[in-house]
Amino acid sequence: MPKKQSITPVSDFGEFKLIKYLTENIKLKHKTTIKGVGDDAAVIEPSDKKIVVTTDMLLEGVHFDLTYVPLKHLGYKAVVVNLSDVYAMNAIPKHITVSLGVSSKFSVEALKDLYDGIYLACDVYNVDLIGGDTCSSLTGLSISVTAIGEVDFEKLAYRSGAKVNDLICVTGDLGGAYMGLQLLEREKMVFNSDPNMKPKFDGYDYILQRQLKPEARKDVIELFEKNKIIPTSMIDISDGLSSELLHLCNQSDVSCKIYEEKVPINYVTRKLAEELNVEPLVTALNGGEDYELLFTVPIELHDKIAELHQVSIIGHISAKGEENLIITKGGTTLPIMAQGWAAFGE
Amino acid sequence: MPKKQSITPVSDFGEFKLIKYLTENIKLKHKTTIKGVGDDAAVIEPSDKKIVVTTDMLLEGVHFDLTYVPLKHLGYKAVVVNLSDVYAMNAIPKHITVSLGVSSKFSVEALKDLYDGIYLACDVYNVDLIGGDTCSSLTGLSISVTAIGEVDFEKLAYRSGAKVNDLICVTGDLGGAYMGLQLLEREKMVFNSDPNMKPKFDGYDYILQRQLKPEARKDVIELFEKNKIIPTSMIDISDGLSSELLHLCNQSDVSCKIYEEKVPINYVTRKLAEELNVEPLVTALNGGEDYELLFTVPIELHDKIAELHQVSIIGHISAKGEENLIITKGGTTLPIMAQGWAAFGE
């Protein structure tokens, strides 16, 4: 929660003073940023690479719950989810814009916390905040971020490039962000029924961080560059592995087969899932917000990929018309369905 | 208001089907659009020009009232207000992204109307819609647009370039959008008190259009190009002439003197202002949303500018430290204050 030492209503500042207060200490990192915040538009120097552009909106009550999301984490996450989309093109993010709709109930100090998170993400991921819009909202908090990056044309990874026999790979582990959300929701319910109860978060740091302060896989994109790996297709995992696998297969005109035992799930995710009577695999297939990368590579790259501890090979691409399948540890074969695996698996 | 012939709740579609429905007929206009909607990010081919980026958010209840704003007009306006910022850099917009937060009360048909307005603006202003985000909102409608354009470095017009003795110019006329809003609000109050009353809009088409379907000054930027005019500074008028003049003077480190009789006000604006007991000049100075351009040029360009019927010369730049002044028709000299002229003038 934001520090509550001093409370200045946003209305005391007005739009222009507020924007100045929040943006006056920006230190631009890139020489390509010709003009940042403060004019009708920002100005960027293009390179000889292609430009990628992506945008995402986060709305209070839908994407976040301010009763348990610290504003600094929220600012960080709002940037990271956009950068994740840039990395999913195998591109490097360079610039972001941030638009905020803020209710007058917000204090200037709370907004400062939100911006601290935004600036931290800018530092960690080496991007410049170059513009935005701050306006009052009659309802909840709205955050809209646009991220701009660059990539050599021949390194671009679309969703549509997967080929038969390509290896299907994911970074990191899956389902953690979803289980972190379940934990936060459970403790919120406990707190609402008895405000004297203290939330029990001990031992769950990992999944809380996965939910509240996710990271984008900058490291993996840098490893691709270093190891001369160009994925044939790539997508970031924001809606769960099932949904993203189907997007990738549909757009590539192919099918897929993956193996349950290969799907990476952290032991903390698994532990809480079992405690809450959720099948751990379901958290990976249908839980969202992991912001890991799902990608395919030619089978010739098997040994190179197998060396990367950040990456798991979970299956392979099959021909169009075959079923999209997951082979369970018990040897059962089940079709992959977006958001539908749990129901089907029962 | 949107046609109500058939009503399909947004919830019947789901996010992916909805995005497909709304974007499947996009025809890309620019060869520089390598990849539009449908991947993690859009891909653009840069030119040898500089890139400009701007973003604006419109929130229900703050920036628009759906009781009298037709959705098609709203979509159009959401794009235009962003393009206006691109033109205000003396740049040409090429690409936009649009993010929507939509309550489940919305029908697919209503969203289609909104998108029809967005696409109409894309056609009129020759820009490609290349990406976005559509998500559900628990509260009102949120629209966030990012516009990307291009400009030769030597043609860039910042807010900060005005020089002493430069002419101060505005395009079109001012105060109309504000008076259009007053008219809509008045008729809404009448309607709320007696739903049998028909709104009286006859003769006010001009100011209604200024409010509901504003245009950005693409034509003027093209005239600058044709006539080899490069403004020394420029800003678009979204918050009223006073406020924008002060931004321009502050950022250019100069002062200004303008003349009431030169400030362009349409007769319909003037007529309604008088009917509602508002000083017409106040609508121009403090009324927002005109989306005209305020710019300065060296005095040597006087004759070239005077020939352009789209432009009025309203004053000149004076040295830093002098007061920012308006000379009234009666010869009185008043300081220009953001949003403060009315109070001061009383």
- A205 vs A189: CA distance, rounded Å: 19
- B284 vs B272: CA distance, rounded Å: 13
What kind of architecture, by CATH, is found in domain A167-345? Answer: Alpha-Beta Complex (3.90)
The answer to whether B136 contacts A52, with C-beta atoms less than 8 Å apart, is no
Residue B138 confidence (pLDDT): 84
Which pLDDT band holds residue B15 (cuts at 50, 70, 90)? Answer: confident
Contacts of A61 in chain B (CB under 8 A): 138-139
The answer to whether A40 contacts B235, with C-beta atoms less than 8 Å apart, is yes
Residue B104 confidence (pLDDT): 79
| Mean per-residue pLDDT of chain B | 93
Contacts of A148 in chain B (CB under 8 A): 53, 148
DSSP label of B106: S
Q: Which of A8-12, A233-237, B28-32, B145-149 has the lowest mean pLDDT?
A: A8-12
Contacts of B131 in chain A (CB under 8 A): 53-55
CATH, range B167-341:
3.90.650.10
Average pLDDT for B151-177: 98
Which pLDDT band holds residue A345 (cuts at 50, 70, 90)? Answer: very low
On the question of pLDDT at A344 being above 50, the answer is no
Task: Characterize the bridge pairing of strands A255-259 and A325-327.
Answer: parallel
Minimal CA–CA distance to A73: which of A186, A215, A182, A191? A215
Residue A225 confidence (pLDDT): 97
Contacts of A153 in chain B (CB under 8 A): 34
Task: Please state which of the four CATH numbers 3.30.470.10, 3.40.50.1170, 3.30.365.10, 3.30.1330.10 is assigned to the domain occupying A10-155.
Answer: 3.30.1330.10
The answer to whether B52 contacts A46, with C-beta atoms less than 8 Å apart, is no
Residue B5 confidence (pLDDT): 62
Residue B300 confidence (pLDDT): 97
The H or E element containing residue A118 is: helix A108-125
On the question of pLDDT at A343 being above 80, the answer is no
| Mean per-residue pLDDT of chain A | 93
| B257 in contact with chain A, both atoms CB, cutoff 8 A | no
In angstroms, what separates the C-alpha of B44 from chain A's closest C-alpha?
Answer: 5
Q: How many CB atoms lie within 10 A of CB A23?
A: 18
In angstroms, what separates the C-alpha of B330 from chain A's closest C-alpha?
Answer: 33
- B145 vs A63: CA distance, rounded Å: 19
Extract the runs of DSSP E, i.e. beta strands, from chain A.
33-35, 42-44, 50-59, 92-103, 128-137, 142-151, 167-171, 233-237, 255-259, 292-297, 311-318, 325-327, 333-335
Contacts of B236 in chain A (CB under 8 A): 40
Determine the length of chain B.
346
| A37 in contact with chain B, both atoms CB, cutoff 8 A | no
Burial of residue B8, with CB atoms counted within 10 A of its CB: 0-12 exposed, 13-18 middle, 19 or more buried:
middle
The answer to whether B41 contacts A86, with C-beta atoms less than 8 Å apart, is yes
| A160 in contact with chain B, both atoms CB, cutoff 8 A | yes
In angstroms, what separates the C-alpha of B260 from chain A's closest C-alpha?
Answer: 26
Give B 161-200 residues with CB within 8 A of chain A: none
The answer to whether A40 contacts B146, with C-beta atoms less than 8 Å apart, is no
Beta bridge partners of B99: B133, B144
- B267 vs B272: CA distance, rounded Å: 9
Q: Percent of chain B scored above 90 by pLDDT? A: 81
The answer to whether A131 contacts B54, with C-beta atoms less than 8 Å apart, is yes
On the question of pLDDT at B3 being above 90, the answer is no
In a mutational test of the A interface, the residue from B44, B60, B144 whose CB has the highest number of chain A CBs within 10 Å is B144
| B60 in contact with chain A, both atoms CB, cutoff 8 A | yes
| A50 in contact with chain B, both atoms CB, cutoff 8 A | yes
Determine the length of chain A.
346
On the question of pLDDT at B256 being above 50, the answer is yes
- B25 vs B116: CA distance, rounded Å: 11
pLDDT tens-digit map of B68-115:
999 999 999 999 999 999 999 999 999 999 999 998 778 899 999 999
pLDDT tens-digit map of B204-216:
999 999 999 999 9
Q: In 3-state terms, what secondary structure has residue A211? A: helix
Residue in A40, A42, A50 nearest the CB of B45: A50
Residue in A95, A133, A160 nearest the CB of B56: A133
CA B256 centroid distance within chain: 23
Average pLDDT for A174-187: 95
The CATH homologous superfamily to which domain B15-155 belongs is PurM-like, N-terminal domain (3.30.1330.10)
| B99 in contact with chain A, both atoms CB, cutoff 8 A | yes
Burial of residue A226, with CB atoms counted within 10 A of its CB: 0-12 exposed, 13-18 middle, 19 or more buried:
exposed
Helix orientation angle between A108-125 and A71-87, rounded to the nearest 10 degrees = 30
Contacts of B100 in chain A (CB under 8 A): 57
Average pLDDT for A96-118: 92
Q: Give the domain ranges of chain B.
A: 15-155, 167-341
| B66 in contact with chain A, both atoms CB, cutoff 8 A | no
Residue A5 confidence (pLDDT): 62
Contacts of A63 in chain B (CB under 8 A): 135
Contacts of B144 in chain A (CB under 8 A): 55, 57, 99, 142, 144
